Chain A
Amino acid sequence: MSFGRLPTDRRLLAGVAGLVLAALLAVEVLFPANPVTDVGAVLVTIVADANYVSSVLRLTVPIAFAALGGIFAEKSGVINIGLEGLLIISAFTSLAAAAALGGGDPNQTQLWLGFGIAVLVSTLFALLFAIVCIEFKADQIIAGLAVWLIALGLAPFASKVIWGQVNSPTIGTFNNWTIPVLSEIPFVGPVLFDASPMVYMLLVAVVASWYALNRTSFGRWIEASGENPKALDTVGVDVRRVRYTGVLLSGFLSGIGGAGLAIGRVGQFIGGGTTMVNGRGWIGITAYLFGNYNPFGAFGASFLFASLDALQFRLQQVGYNIPSELIGIIPYVTVVVVLAFVGRTRIPSAAGDHYESGEE
């Protein structure tokens, strides 16, 4: 059972092949002057570039952390569609906290403190969401939307109060962690061993999440809580506690993702429009659905979506001006196609349902 219930790797392979084909076709239609072979050559050059892969990994961070968080919440039976909001909250908080501690130029320790505070605040937000859903039996979808909408309004507003505008000033980011010797390996070295600490954290989190879900008692309980909570209740495990834990983990992991985006990569909070998070939480949801609730699958899907995003930038640089909106909808189209046709993404049976111990 090394890859979960379903052949996630095969699904991913099919997904990648389909997407590359679709991209090529799109290019063919949009730029009939340049034959596809040409584009193919350009694509190969881009994809084989270590810089490109590095930037994809950094882009993957917020999406994949949100996805991992979403897995824990939804597998426990609470659908958390407020992941986007949690990313926004933590992105903002990390900047605000680091700036409050270190002024315009916080040092690394202050950045890390800001990061920690952001994760804490995101977890507290998730706790609020959990209380509303579990204690007061609010509709999970509506409560999740509320989390997003509140974050979407609150973060830019707080920015204005603090900095007089929706965007924060630019402060530093985390230094890369360079691992001696290993970072000298061609291609692999700069990608994997001279990377942002967020990338390392993500790789650890993916493995740890998989392990927690598939090898520990807690993982079995999460599964049971989302599939048949009564079965869990009757053997004496408190379903509410399991669900609280699942939702809190989604807040914790999304917090890392959001803070990792703001002070891990950009060094600024951008609050205009859809904010700097710009739908990455939503893509995170599609990523875990695409990955069938398997952390490795979710990571793969996040990586895939991030690589498309990055690809569009690169193609722009070499003169292919594909509208970013077109690339932006690919994850959603993919997930609809996967859910409808490739099929068998198995949504936990009791996800979205309230559970009350002792009810018949």
Chain B
Amino acid sequence: MSVAVYLDGITKRFPGVVANDEVDLEVEAGTVHALLGENGAGKTTLMNVLYGLYRPNGGTIHLNGEPREFATPRDAIDAGIGMIHQHFMLVDTLTTAENIVLGHEPRKWGGLAVDRERAEREVRELSQRYGFDVDPEARVEDVSVGVQQRVEILKALYGGADVLILDEPTAVLTPQEVEDLFGVFDELADQGKTIIFITHKLGEAMEAADDITVLRDGKNVGSVDADATTREELAELMVGREVLLEADKDPANPGEVGLAVSDLRVTDDRGVEQVSGVDIEAREGEVFGIAGVDGNGQSELVEAVTGLTTPEEGRVSIHGEDVTGLSRRDRIDDGMAYVPEDRQERGLVMEFDLVENGLLGSQHAQPYAEGGRIDWTETRGHAEAIIEEYDVRPPDPDADAKSLSGGNQQKFIVGREFARDPDVVVASHPTRGVDVGSIEFIHDRLLDLRREGKTILLVSSKLDEVQQLSDRLAVMYEGEIVDIVDPDRVTEEELGLLMAGEIPEDAPSIADSTGGER
């Protein structure tokens, strides 16, 4: 078989970081190749180099044996490379066909009009050839995310792509849509297309790819045959050491209900109901997990619980006391800490230094403030304590939040929130985009709080995380809780079904089994 893409010693430096360090990559024509690695391993950077978005600082790109240089994506597209980004490059107000032919519209009447019949016919033919179900006349904003992704793929194919790069294509899909996508990969590969997809999920890489290349810290740490490798080998390559697949977790010792949510309904800005009657009772000394594909109402649920939005209906209470009408600040005073899902948008003020960021949420409270004046000595000491305890790097309280890496930003937020000595912790994707070391650290701190008898609500789309940490696990789908299961007994397959809104026959449901006798 011939080699379609050969990257030879690609190096890409950004100010202060080496994102790709002499990376080699060899992809055979007509195969599916997974680029596996943790967040920040340099996968997307490498593909952006191949796609002409970045100029490499060193190394060469070979396409079908020829050395090539791409100054812009246009050059890469002309050479037959198509890239499907994580955020789709689609125009919502145009139809799928209009998007697919954008920039290459077939014309009639001497170029005076777009030949829409021809465009739609060509799109329909292309769509059928690869077994896609895409309606050329539908508006992009009216079709599902899975279909939008196919529109992106068709757009690349229409542009003449032979090599398709997909950046985290499964992140936005339901498990069923993921299956369909992998079917599409096979079909494309059978018809001679070469596919490179980026993922940080080793299960997906093993399932969908023929070959897997693992990146770690910007280096290629190994390329393996997907059929001849094991999960353990891949995991080890990814993190560079044996992974602790189990966190140290004592048996649960649940007490009173710490955080209760009853019949909660939340409507978003557009008037669409996102949370439809959710009931939760999280107990002291318990981690109550919420799993689900992103966008099934978890964010809205958390916002209503923490006081960032007002629910249409329902009640939120802390230790039996109704806090539904209380502001965010009142809830902080009532002992609710919150690790937000978007640390740069909600967790930190990026332009502030760590001293100021450490004060956020306590700016009105003793001992940091009195009578409207802030005690900066006290505040600085507080920031220094967080930095010390949570190993935030660089250990400089005067550094601006934006100068820290994502993982260190997250550690600082977690430190600040846990330092409130909270009764109830709401943690939303607390380890998203965080390196392995920090993940373990944050997990341990969460379990410490659990041991101290705090109530913890944990929302995450990472299955292993919620499964490992939770004592009970609720699965959300389209704004409702499909089921509450025992995370130690539920299988990944069962969780997958639940996340797609189906209840498997023998799911280990537990409505409130840890409640016990009171």
Contacts and interface: CB of A to CB of B under 8 A. Distances in A.
Interface string B276-316: 00000000000000000000000000000000000000000
A224 B102 CA distance: 9
Contacts of B104: 235
B243 interface: no
A194 interface: no
A228 interface: yes
B350 interface: no
B92 A215 contact: no
A231 B152 CA distance: 10
B99 interface: yes
B107 interface: yes
A234 B93 contact: no
B97 to A, nearest CB: 11
Given A216-B112, A217-B114, A235 B91 contact: no
A346 interface: yes
B89 A236 contact: no
Nearest to A346: B93
A231 B91 contact: yes
Interface residues of A, number: 23
A234 B113 CA distance: 23
Interface in B88-140: 89-94, 98-99, 102-105, 107, 111-114
A232 B155 CA distance: 12
B77 interface: yes
A228 B105 contact: no
Interface in A297-333: none
A220 B102 contact: yes
Contacts of B91: 223-224, 227-228, 231-232
Given A232-B103, A235-B77, A235-B103, A220 B93 contact: no
Given A223-B94, A346-B93, A216 B114 contact: yes
B366 interface: no
B489 interface: no
Q: How large is the interface on B (under 10, 10 to 19, 20 to 34, 35 or more residues)?
A: 20 to 34
Most buried by B among A216, A217, A232, A346: A217
Contacts of A346: 93
B90 A231 contact: yes
Interface in B47-80: 53, 72-74, 77
A349 B90 CA distance: 12
Contacts of B90: 228, 231
Contacts of B98: 220
A5 interface: yes
Interface string B372-400: 00000000000000000000000000000
Contacts of A221: 102-103
A14 interface: no
Contacts of B113: 215-216
Nearest to A360: B53
Contact of B94 (A217, A224, A349, A360): A224
Nearest to A238: B74
B175 interface: no
A235 B498 CA distance: 39
Contacts of A217: 105, 107, 111, 114
B114 A215 contact: yes
B74 to A, nearest CB: 4
B103 A223 contact: no
Interface string A105-126: 0000000000000000000000
Contact of A231 (B99, B107, B159): B99
Contacts of B74: 236
A227 B141 CA distance: 12
Nearest to A212: B112
B72 A231 contact: no
Contacts of B105: 217, 220
B92 A228 contact: yes
B107 to A, nearest CB: 6
B135 to A, nearest CB: 15
A220 B114 contact: yes
Contacts of A223: 91, 93-94
A234 B114 contact: no
B53 A232 contact: no
A277 B120 CA distance: 46
Contacts of B93: 5, 223, 227, 346
A216 B108 CA distance: 10
Interface in B401-460: none
A220 B140 CA distance: 14
A340 to B, nearest CB: 14
A231 B89 contact: yes
A237 B99 CA distance: 13
B53 A358 contact: yes
Contacts of A233: 73
Given A221-B102, A223-B91, 9 more contacts: A5-B93, A216-B112, A217-B111, A227-B91, A228-B89, A228-B90, A228-B91, A231-B91, A349-B92
Interface of A: 5, 215-217, 220-221, 223-224, 227-228, 230-237, 346, 349, 357-358, 360
14 contacts: A215-B114, A217-B114, A220-B98, A223-B91, A224-B94, A228-B89, A231-B89, A231-B90, A231-B91, A234-B73, A234-B77, A234-B89, A235-B77, A235-B159
Interface of B: 53, 72-74, 77, 89-94, 98-99, 102-105, 107, 111-114, 155, 159
